[in-house]
Amino acid sequence: MHQAYVVEGEFIDNQTLHISEPIITKKKKVKLIIEELNNNNIEKKRKFGCAKGWFTIKSNFNNPIEDFKEYMKCWN
Express each pLDDT in 7-46 by its tens digit. 888 888 888 888 888 887 888 788 888 888 776 655 677 7
- The CA distance from 40 to 37, in Å, is 8
pLDDT of residue 21: 85
| Between 60 and 39, residue with greater pLDDT | 60
Distance of CA 50 to the CA centre of its chain: 17
Q: Do 5 and 20 meet the contact criterion of CB atoms below 8 Å apart?
A: no
pTM: 0.36
pLDDT of residue 30: 81
Q: Do 23 and 5 meet the contact criterion of CB atoms below 8 Å apart?
A: yes
If you average pLDDT over residues 38-55, what whole number do you get? Answer: 78
pLDDT band at 1 (very low <50, low <70, confident <90, very high): low
Contact residues for 72 (Cβ-Cβ < 8 A; gap 6+): 64
Distance of CA 56 to the CA centre of its chain: 25
